[in-house]
Every structure is written in structure tokens, then in C-alpha cells.
Amino acid sequence: MIYKKNILCIGAGYVGGPTMAMIAAKCPQYKVTVVDINDKRINDWNSDNLPIYEPGLDVLIKTARGRNLFFSTEIEKGIKEADIIFVSVNTPTKNFGQGAGMAADLQYWEKTARQILSNSDKDKIIVEKSTLPVRTAKAMERILNSASGTIKFEVLSNPEFLAEGTAVKDLENPDRVLIGSRETEAGLKARNELVDIYANWVPREKIIESNVWSAELSKLTANAFLAQRVSSINSLSSLCEATEADIEEVAYAIGTDSRIGNKFLKSSVGFGGSCFKKDILNLVYICQSYGLNEVADYWESVVRLNEWQEKRFVLNMLSNMFNTVAGKKIAVLGFAFKADTGDTRESPAIYITMGLLEERALVNVSDPKALVNARVDLKDIKDGIDFIEDPYKAAEGAHAIAVLTEWDIYTKLDYKQIFDSMVKPAFIFDGRNILNHKALFDMGFNVFAIGKAPLKHF
């Protein structure tokens, strides 16, 4: 098979795997290879048991795998053959030295740049796919152009905006694709090559072009704005609980204003996921490093409010359950950071479960997809915890239920049966506002929902 060009993606994670599967499915004229240092991950991508759960992903992979989509651990070979390299390795928050707890840890990133340099014998386009601090492309260019050879590298920024749980849908029909480059002749030529790839399925008007710094900064900004909306609505949920205003009615009322818009206004137990906190703290660190302390403080408050919302949930449980949960069984329904994913990174459920355990509660953790990750997150806990997939069994003999993920199955449970199996008075804390609170109250539950006046029988 003769391919038009060879595309390589370094890093077969939540971003690299699905993104490359979509490019391969839509562009059979390109050979797409995804490499990773993690053998098991690559084996899983080559099996029927994919390493991540995303609706529609298995069908997408089957369309292209073995045809023009390949998963491999041969990183150096992949680099040699490639014309275009997407870099999608992880950029976690640095946990040591200068900027610890805030700045992005760029060690994997730099290692990859050096590996590309030492294995290249022809010109290449390098595409930043991972979320990176603004001006990382400059560092990348410096490393790649540090050798004296004649090989040319053009660095582009093409941040990925997919959300977990809807990755396939987001990739197939994105709101926009953003491609940033240097505005030199070579930069614009490389930019056009990438535009041509996406234009195979994305309408041209949705492909936005910009300078490379704007593209880098837009990714951090998009996540900061999204998280800020969640913190804004969550901040008001506490006021609603105190005043008998209803957060869902308030969100609906403000969301019908087309300038505000109605999306991303669901009050919750807090935002989680691998991106929001990490990216905001990264933005905060960048602002601080430019001496923009007021801007840094403004964005940091979005993360602080989120932490407070998680803490508030535990305190609310405690105070309503007669100021003690010690020795009481609590069923945590949902451990993933949101529905339709098995991912638990930064999930509010981790902090809430830990908070309940500190109060010496006995916690039964239940989730349809995230128990494997939940066991890893809580591996250091020896006592007081059980993992039970069946929500009915998890709630049996419990004093309280805390709904922490908006899984559809939790809206369809037989709550009468659950109520009958629980210790009385039975409590339910709806951290996602997905249940029918009035019906639960009528059954006998004491109901506490985010941003709503409590419904209690005492």
C-alpha cells in the first residue's frame, strides 16, 4: 500500500488514541502509527479490550486498525518514517522543585523532542497535541534546531478539545479545530498540510488558523473558562441551599439569555478530570511568572472554590446526619469524574470518600465502569471501604446514599426497594441533581440535593 504521508503520534493515551483513530478512519490515504513506551497500553490498543472506555471507540478502531492505523512500541522506527509527528505525551503538574504543585512538568515532553531530533533524517512537521504552557513551541524549536544538520522542523500547535465520554462525537463533529503556526513561509506551508488533513471531514469554516502562541494559550483559556462556569454556578448553589432558591431554576433563567448560554451550568459536587485543575494551575503559574498576580489570583479562585464545594458536601452530610457518620455505612454511587467514562482522575468522589473515611464512616463504593481505577486511587486505605458494583447491594444496610456521578442507571433504580433495605432514618445526598427528589421524599428519604432546600422528615 502506498500512502500519501506517514503520520506518527507519540503517546497512546486518552487524547492520542482516539484522535489518531479518527484521522486514520477519515483519511485512508495517510498511514497513522501510534507509539507509546507502555507495552501494556499498546497491547490493549491492539486487542478487543481497549485501554480506555469511550462510546463508539471500538467501532472506530475496527474501521482503520490494520488498514492504515497501527499501534506499536517501536518509537524510534516510527520517528524515522514519519513526515508529521503529533506529540501527545502526558504533561502532569510538576511535583518537585520550582513551581511544584502548579507548573507543568515538561520532562516527558523534552525527552520526546530530543528523541525526535536524534532519530530524524528528513524534514518533519511536529504538532503539539498535549496541552502545554504558552511559548512551549519556542523551547521545542530550540531543541529541534540545536543540531547543526540541514533537517528542518516546523512546530505547530493543534490543541485537542475533546471531552471524555463524548470523544468520538467531538472528534467527528468538532465545534472547531485550531491550528497555530509561525507566520513564515515554511510555517504557513506546514499549517496548510495539517489543514488539508482535517479538511477530509471537518468543514473548512470550522478550521481556525492562528499564530502558534494564540493556539497554545487558547487551550488553557478554554479549559479555564469552562471550569470557571462550573465554579460560578457551584458558588451560588450554597446560597440557594440557604435561601430556598433552586439552583436549577436559577441556571435555567440565566441560561436562556443568549449572551450567557445554557450549557455547562449544571451545579455539581465539583469538577474533576485530568484537565481543569491542572490547566488552571498551569495558567496561574504562567501569570505569576509574568508578574500578573491579580490575574493569577482570579483564576486560582476557580480551583479553590471547587475544593470548597467538595469539602462542603462532606460537611453537609456530617451535619445532617446528626454530626457523626462514624461506624455508619454510606453508599457512594458513582466514582468516575463524570458519566460515560471509567476515568477517575481528580474525581470529586476521591476527596469525598476520603473525607467520609476520615470521619470513620464505612464506605461502599459503587460505579459501573470506574471500580478498577477506584481501587487504585484508594489502594492505601486498609479499613472501612468496600467496592460493590451492584448499587442495590452497595446500599443494603446503609444509613445514607451519596450520588457523585450522573450515571443514567442511577436515575432508573428502584429506590423503594433500596429504601426498604436501608437503616432508618435513610438519607440521600444527590451531588448531581439527577434524581426525583419529591418522589424520594414521599418514599421516606431525607433528601439533600446540591443547590436546593433540604427535604427532611424531622
Q: Residue 385's binding partner, choosing from ligand UDX, ligand ADP, none, with beta-carbon cut-off 5 to 8 A by kind?
A: none
Smaller CB separation from ligand ADP, 16 or 355: 16
Q: Are 138 and 128 in contact (CB under 8 A)?
A: no
Distance from C-alpha of 266 to C-alpha of 271, rounded to nearest angstrom: 10
What is the torsional sign of CA 430, 434, 439, 443?
Answer: negative
**150, containing H or E segment:** none
Distance CA 147, CA 166 (A): 41
What is the nearest approach in angstroms of ligand UDX to the Cβ of residue 229? 7
Nearest residue (CB) to ligand UDX, 169 versus 393: 169
Does residue 216 interact with ligand UDX by CB under 6 A?
Answer: no
Query: Near ligand UDX by CB under 6 A, which window of 146-154, 158-166, 191-199, 292-300?
Result: 158-166
Residue 446: beta bridge partners? 427
* 174 part of the interface to ligand UDX, by CB under 6 A: no
From CA 41, how far away is CA 80, in angstroms rounded?
22
Instruction: Pick from 23, 230, 402, 440 the residue near ligand UDX by CB under 6 A.
Output: 230
Shortest reach from residue 62's CB to ligand UDX, in Å = 23
Residue 273 within binding range of ligand UDX, rule CB under 6 A: yes
Q: How far is the CB of 21 from ligand ADP (least distance, A)?
A: 13
Q: DSSP class of residue 199? A: T
Q: Which does 162 bind (CB under 5 to 8 A by kind): ligand ADP, ligand UDX, none?
A: ligand UDX
Q: Is 312 in the site for ligand UDX (CB under 6 A)?
A: no
Question: Least CB distance from residue 351 to ligand UDX, whole Å?
Answer: 12
DSSP 204: G
Smallest gap from Cβ 297 to ligand UDX, in A, equals 22
d(CA 192, CA 210): 12
C-alpha span between 15 and 164 (Å, rounded) = 9
The C-alpha atoms of residue 76 and residue 8 are separated, in whole angstroms, by: 11
Residue in 164, 310, 340, 359 binding ligand UDX, rule: CB under 6 A: 164
Q: Smallest distance, Å, CB 194 to ligand UDX?
A: 18
Cα–Cα distance between 167 and 363 in angstroms, integer?
31
Burial level of 431, CB count in 10 A (0-12/13-18/19+)? buried
Q: Is 226 among the residues that bind ligand UDX (CB under 6 A)?
A: yes
Q: From the CB of 51, what's the least distance to ligand ADP, in Å?
A: 8
* H-assigned helices in 244-388: 247-255, 276-289, 293-320, 348-358, 371-377
Cα–Cα dist 338/73, whole Å: 31
If one asks whether residue 266 binds ligand UDX (CB under 6 A), the answer comes out as yes
Closer to ligand ADP at the Cβ: 11 or 355?
Answer: 11
Distance, in Å, from the CA atom of 332 to the CA atom of 374, rounded to the nearest integer, reads: 11
User: 78 vs 23, 120, 353, 366, 378, CA distance in Å?
Assistant: 17, 10, 43, 41, 37
Q: Please tell me the distance from the alpha carbon of residue 357 to that of residue 366, in angstroms, as a whole number.
A: 15
**Can residue 271 be called a binding residue for ligand UDX (CB under 6 A)?**
yes
287 is catalytic: no
Choose from ligand UDX, ligand ADP, none: what does 264 bind? Cβ within 5-8 Å by kind. ligand UDX
| Residue 268 engages ligand UDX in binding (rule: CB under 6 A) | yes
Query: Residue 223 interacts with ligand UDX (CB under 6 A)?
Result: yes
Whose Cβ is closer to ligand UDX: residue 225's or residue 322's? 225
Angle CA(141)–CA(284)–CA(175) in degrees, nearest 5?
70
Interface ranges with ligand ADP (CB under 6 A): 10-16, 35-38, 41, 75, 88-90, 108, 111-112, 130, 274
Which residue's CB atom is positioned nearest to ligand ADP? Answer: 13
Asked if 61 interacts with ligand UDX (CB under 6 A), we say no
Site for ligand UDX, rule CB under 6 A: 160-164, 223, 226, 230, 264-266, 268, 271-273, 275-276, 337-338
Active site residues: 275
